[in-house]
Structure 1
Amino acid sequence: MSLPLADPRTIGPRIRMMMPHLTPLEGRVVDMILGRRDFDQSTSLKAVAEDAGVSEAMIVKIAKKLGFDGFKDFRTGLADYNRLPTAELHEELSPDDTDAEIARKVFRTSVHALEETLAILDPQALERAADLIFGARHRDLYGVGGSAQIARDVAHKLLRIGVRTSVFDDAHMMLMSASLLGEGDVAIAISHSGTTTAVIESIELARRRGARTIALTNYATSPLATIADVVLCSTAQGSPLLGENAAARIAQLIIFDAVFAAVARRDLKAAERNLAATMGAVAGKRRGA
């Protein structure tokens, strides 16, 4: 997945997506640089190297590993990113925060994730995902832990418009499902890290059986993303308490809201008819209905 460097909003996501490919030392250096709110066009290579306790050559090497031409290119991109209004939305939680302050920070972290996810969202990947889901014979969703909850939400959305899916959150059941898929079917894998073994193995098997595959992940260069036919990416900045998953979960749900709407648009009359039927079926289950 290639992110346009001309758009400053993609700089933060680009750096975070490449972090898993850095060594622990390189990761600590990047964290130090990202933590400097005074980092701008005047920040020298020498100053960054001295603050990080590494050589200038290592700083240049890290910049290139992150996908930049060198330190100057990295500095320009990060300085532009830091000037964005959303750059200040993410704030770490503090033991001194009031409950109201915590709520504000948590909401702003999610807003930040949504803004950046929209900036990196690939419209062509969204279109391909909608086409595959709409045209599939069977649609099986795979995810464990928090990702399984997203899979269930996706299945619920699609069922409302008459698009039937199956959700599997057990390693054995995922493999059994994948073994029965074939041409005309689609397997949808959800994994924040993109490294969940059970999900990766199931997608690999589904591909061998001839099914098409869609991945929803936070890392475009993750093992899961490299084997999927279509990759949809969220991006979220982590914090010690909330981690990345909290904000990424919101972004991933919204990505599939967009996919849901795109699938519905492919046969709007049928979607509206099925939506009326499914809503009517449960209407009597509400108090006062």
Structure 2
Amino acid sequence: MATSIRLTIKSIYKNLTPKEQSIADYILKEPQKVSHSSISDIANDLNIADSTFFQFTKKLGFSGFKDFKMALLTSDDYQNSMTTIHQGITQDDDELEMAYKIFDSNISTLLDTKKLLDKQKLKDAVDFIDHSDRLFFFGVGGSEIVASDAYHKFLRSPVNVVHNADYHIQLMEASMMTEKDCALLISHTGKSKETIQLAEVAKKNSAKIIVVTSQIQSQLAKLADIVFTSISEETAFRSEALASRISQLSILDAIFTILMFRNAAGSQTSIGKIREVINKIKE
């Protein structure tokens, strides 16, 4: 299926209405049929009006059904997806097959997320961080693990970074932010009430807001100055939220590396100081 269509659907799916989700499911399940059907045929299959499907294609960013159908027919990724359908883990799989499928899922997650990266967003995000007095990392639950990892990384940069695992302290930190600070918030669904509250407090204080989420139409994403979308594949006993971590970590790795190369001299100094003190305890 066309990458733009498949990934866009995945990134907005949880924010769709039940009727829109049924349309999305149909497109994801029957891409070949959709690409060779008229809008009336599809509408009949779904028991909806032609105009309902037409409006859905517009929600995906297309000018209409013809534009949507052309994208579906001409995409290389669409052609590839017809022969490389991901198979979920089953009870009959042996240990090695299960491990392979987890690796395949992670590879798919990274490749899909990579396709959504935007050069200008990466540049703007690094600009925000580079020109901020302080960079705050916020995350709750599983997302806190990603925030903590990012904090551990960015401590090696010339940037003044702040992070605490306790939500109440995060909220207190957000309340002390200013227009000279930058907040980086991580949330798979973008619906975490705690993370949304953190973003609202930071925004009220005019801080720059960068969000990493899998749902581009979420309430959290709407509060952001810049949104990075992470795409994940769900497998047996592993939710999308758990699978999304590898893509979130990779997005933050990319931002960190760009920042370090931009500030090569300062980065070498900060890394040197950290290596010097860490090496002392390894001797």
Query: Take 2:78 and 2:216, find their aligned partners in 1: how far apart are those partners?
Result: 22
Match of 1:91, SS state, is coil
Deviation (angstroms), 1:176:
0.9
Match of 1:153 among 143, 149, 156: 149
Match of 2:69 among 66, 75, 82: 75
Residue in structure 1 matched with residue 12 of structure 2 by the alignment: 18
Match of 1:64 among 58, 66, 89: 58
1:95 aligns with 2:91: yes
Match of 1:187 among 180, 183, 186: 183
Match of 1:124, SS state, is helix
Deviation (angstroms), 1:149:
0.7
Residue in structure 2 matched with residue 123 of structure 1 by the alignment: 119
Deviation (angstroms), 1:61:
3.6
Further displaced range: 217-226 or 74-83: 74-83
Q: How does 1:90-239 map to 2 (within 5 A)?
A: 90-239=86-235
Deviation (angstroms), 1:54:
4.3
Residue in structure 1 matched with residue 242 of structure 2 by the alignment: 246
Match of 1:9 among 3, 7, 11: 3
Partner AA of 1:102 in structure 2: M
The 8 Å contact of residues 140 and 168 in structure 1, kept in 2 or not, is answered as no
The 8 Å contact of residues 133 and 160 in structure 2, kept in 1 or not, is answered as no
TM-score computed with the length of structure 2 as normaliser: 0.87
Residue in structure 2 matched with residue 28 of structure 1 by the alignment: 22
Q: Which structure 2 segments of 5+ residues have no match? A: none
For these two proteins, the number of residue pairs brought into alignment is: 281
> How large is the Cα RMSD of the aligned pairs?
2.6
Match of 2:163, SS state, is strand
Deviation (angstroms), 1:158:
0.9
The 8 Å contact of residues 89 and 109 in structure 1, kept in 2 or not, is answered as no
Counterparts in 2 of 1:86 and 1:213: CA distance versus 1, 3 Å: farther
The 8 Å contact of residues 106 and 233 in structure 2, kept in 1 or not, is answered as no
Deviation (angstroms), 1:87:
7.6
Query: Take 1:8 and 1:33, find their aligned partners in 2: how far apart are those partners?
Result: 11
Query: Take 1:53 and 1:96, find their aligned partners in 2: how far apart are those partners?
Result: 37
Deviation (angstroms), 1:154:
0.7
Q: Percent identity?
A: 31
Further displaced range: 76-85 or 227-236: 76-85
Deviation (angstroms), 1:96:
1.9
Partner AA of 1:77 in structure 2: A
Structure 1 ranges of 4+ moved more than 6 A: none
Deviation (angstroms), 1:34:
0.9
Counterparts in 2 of 1:114 and 1:31: CA distance versus 1, 3 Å: same
Partner AA of 1:215 in structure 2: V
Deviation (angstroms), 1:41:
3.2
Residue in structure 2 matched with residue 279 of structure 1 by the alignment: 275
1:247-267 CA-partner distances (Å, limit 9, x unpaired): 321111111111101111222
1:108-160 CA-partner distances (Å, limit 9, x unpaired): 22212222222211211111211222222122111011111111111111112
Partner AA of 2:197 in structure 1: E
